[in-house]
Amino acid sequence: MKDRISKTNAMRILDSAKVKYVVHEYPHEDTAVPGDEVARLVGADPDRVFKTLVTRGSSGEIFVFIVPVREELDLKKAAKYSGEKAISMVRVSELLNLTGYIRGGCTAIGMKKDYPVFLEETASLFESIFVSGGKIGLQIELDPEDLLRTASGRYADLITD
């Protein structure tokens, strides 16, 4: 299937790193699709579908957090892991300039800069997880360890209790 789809930057990076992945396309209207709906459209358990959130620490540094679509990022935990006093979400209008991706198509693989990346530790419970493939309508299924290696990330306890 991935040979029929025009490659995104994220897919080219995964290919060059020799990471195995499966591409899942889903219908969309060029706008972000809610995570639960993405899971339904690709036929995946929502616990295995993850969203990529871009934040700014009180120091001004950018951090990337990847959490299940049904969960909320715990900003206090995120601040602790990032070594910041506080963390807040970046404005949607800043996303493209900071990452090279738009809302609904943002992935930790191949951002404009190498930001610190944290993946919710529950991802380790699965052989594969789904993350954005770098554009709306495209999910990449891959081993969470491959995601961490490719994005230079690490596991963390990130979701609200």
CA distance 46 to 69: 7
The domain segmentation of the chain, as residue ranges, is 9-156
Selection from 158, 161, 139, 156 nearest residue 14 by Cα:
139
**In this model, does residue 3 exceed pLDDT 70?**
no
| Global pTM value | 0.92
Contact 129, 120 (CB under 8 A): no
pLDDT of residue 28: 78
Q: Dig out the tokens for 158 from the structure.
A: 């990130």
Condensed to tens digits (0 to 9), the pLDDT of residues 99-153 reads 999 888 899 999 999 999 999 999 999 999 999 999 888 999 999 999 999 999 9
Q: At what angle do helices 9-16 and 144-151 cross, to 10 degrees?
A: 100
**In this model, does residue 31 exceed pLDDT 90?**
no
pLDDT of residue 150: 96
* CB-neighbour burial class of residue 96 (10 A; exposed 0-12, middle 13-18, buried 19+): middle
Task: Answer whether CATH 3.90.960.10 is correct for domain 9-156.
Answer: yes
pLDDT of residue 35: 81
CA distance 120 to 101: 21
Three-state secondary structure string covering the chain: CCCCCCCCHHHHHHHHCCCCEEEEECCCCCCCCCHHHHHHHHCCCHHHEEEEEEEEECCCCEEEEEEECCCCECHHHHHHHHCCCCEEECCHHHHHHHHCCCCCCCCCCCCCCCCCEEEEHHHHHCCCEEEECCCCCEEEEECHHHHHHHHCEEEECCECC
pLDDT of residue 88: 96
Q: Greater confidence, 70 or 27?
A: 70
